[in-house]
């Protein structure tokens, strides 16, 4: 059952123009859509940051009850309000013809040095649908936290990543204290907080059977 009134069929895209093309691209849409009060809207123009699609991963060790996080510099935090070095979940962009789960496994290895033992998709959501196309597939990955690297990342991609292993209790305390400012990290850790005991019990039981 859908909670929405309309669907994609209720949007008329009149034109789509690429304004700029680089690693990402900027597109201008001209469109009209059905109105809740009846009829159709006037023509609307909106610029869209076409960023592609991505994955994020919660690397979790049910045996030690620890989460592995990463710290890296982020250009989006350069305006001075936030520290440019953010504590985050593992994440990466899905390239053409890649499967999201394969990207989740690859990014976990590249950014933490950890091999994913088990991987489950949690949800998909739009990162900032008011002006950006990016969707995020969020995964929970079972890992052995004792094998985490101290520093990771691909030098040829300009990555310099500190790997952080934290007890779940400390992660949840940091979450309550507002230590995380990356939206995907907040969403993922809040999900883990809601589902922590169930996931841990299931994964520990499956390893004993």
Write out pLDDT tens, residues 79-124.
879 999 999 999 999 998 999 999 999 999 999 999 999 999 999 9
Query: Which tokens is 96 given?
Result: 């053409």
Contacts of 41 (CB under 8 A, 6+ apart): 32, 33, 34, 35
**How high is the pLDDT of residue 52?**
87
Range of the domain at 13: 8-50
Do 151 and 164 have their domain in common?
yes
**How high is the pLDDT of residue 138?**
98
Q: Which of 157, 159, 173, 179 is catalytic?
A: 157
Share of the chain above pLDDT 70, in %: 99
The answer to whether position 73 is within a domain reads yes
Do 16 and 110 have their domain in common?
no
pLDDT band at 3 (very low <50, low <70, confident <90, very high): very high
Mean pLDDT of 170-181: 97
Q: What is the mean pLDDT of the chain?
A: 95
- Model's pTM, two decimal places? 0.92
Distance CA 156, CA 178 (A): 33
Query: Which tokens is 149 given?
Result: 């690297």
Do 39 and 71 have their domain in common?
no
Do 45 and 63 have their domain in common?
no
Do 42 and 65 have their domain in common?
no
Pairing between β-strand 66-73 and β-strand 161-167 as defined by DSSP bridges: antiparallel
Do 81 and 172 have their domain in common?
yes
Mean pLDDT of 50-62: 96
* pLDDT reading at 2 higher than 90: no
Active site residue 157: yes
- Taking a C-beta distance cutoff of 8 angstroms, is the pair 86, 182 a contact? yes
Handedness of CA 189, 90, 127, 101 (dihedral sign): negative
- Per the model's pLDDT, the better-predicted residue between 51 and 124 turns out to be 124
**How high is the pLDDT of residue 209?**
64
Do 199 and 122 have their domain in common?
yes
């Amino acid at each position: 059952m859908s909670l929405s009134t309309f669907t994609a069929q209720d949007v008329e895209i009149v034109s789509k123009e690429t304004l700029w093309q680089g690693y990402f691209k900027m597109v201008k849409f001209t469109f009209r859509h059905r109105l809740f009060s009846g009829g159709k809207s006037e023509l609307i123009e909106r610029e869209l940051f076409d960023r592609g699609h991505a994955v994020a991963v919660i690397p979790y060790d049910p045996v030690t009850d620890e989460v592995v996080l990463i710290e890296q510099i982020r250009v989006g935090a350069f305006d001075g309000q936030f520290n440019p070095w953010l504590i985050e979940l593992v994440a990466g962009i899905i390239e053409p013809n890649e499967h999201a789960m394969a990207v989740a496994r690859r990014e976990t290895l590249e950014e933490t040095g950890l091999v994913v033992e088990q991987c489950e998709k949690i949800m998909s959501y739009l990162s900032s649908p008011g002006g950006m196309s990016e969707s995020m597939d969020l995964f929970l990955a079972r890992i052995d936290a004792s094998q985490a690297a101290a520093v990771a990342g691909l030098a040829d991609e300009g990555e310099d990543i500190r790997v952080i292993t934290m007890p779940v209790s400390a992660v949840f305390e940091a979450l309550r204290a507002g230590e995380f400012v990356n939206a995907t990290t907040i969403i993922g850790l809040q999900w883990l907080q809601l589902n922590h005991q169930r996931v841990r019990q299931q994964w520990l039981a499956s390893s004993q059977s």
